[in-house]
Amino acid sequence: MATEIITVSEARKNFLKLVKELEAIQNHYIITRGGRPSAVLINFDEYFTLMATFDILSDKEVMMGVVKGLKEKEEGNVFSFEDVFGETF
């Protein structure tokens, strides 16, 4: 996975090529305007994953459950797959 910095003019000129490339490989483009970062171009799957992660991290209840689960694991309060589902993994 690579990150390339391109100007907004380059992005406009090569937009279809950039989109096709993003469909094939996970690349990032930082688009600059006036020499300063202005936008980022990433493929949809990566965007979707980032948004899902953001939603999870933003959900206080979910994160409290994660913290509770990690604490229980540290304390040894865990169950095996077989205990929970009645079959081996």
Query: pLDDT tens across 28-82, in order?
Result: 999 999 999 999 999 999 999 999 999 999 999 999 999 999 999 999 999 889 9
Q: Are 24 and 2 in contact (CB under 8 A)?
A: no
d(CA 18, CA 81): 45
Copy the structure tokens of residue 40. 């980022």
Q: What is the pLDDT of residue 66?
A: 92
pTM confidence score:
0.67
In a domain, 28, yes or no: yes
CATH, residue 13: 3.40.1620.10
> What are the φ/ψ torsions at residue 59 (nearest 5 degrees)?
-90, 105
Count of domains in the chain?
A: 1
* N-term to C-term CA, the chain: 33
Is residue 5 over pLDDT 90?
A: yes
Radius of gyration of the chain (CA): 21
Q: Which domain holds residue 34?
A: 2-44
Q: What is the pLDDT of residue 89?
A: 81
Q: What is the pLDDT of residue 39?
A: 97
In a domain, 25, yes or no: yes
In a domain, 51, yes or no: no
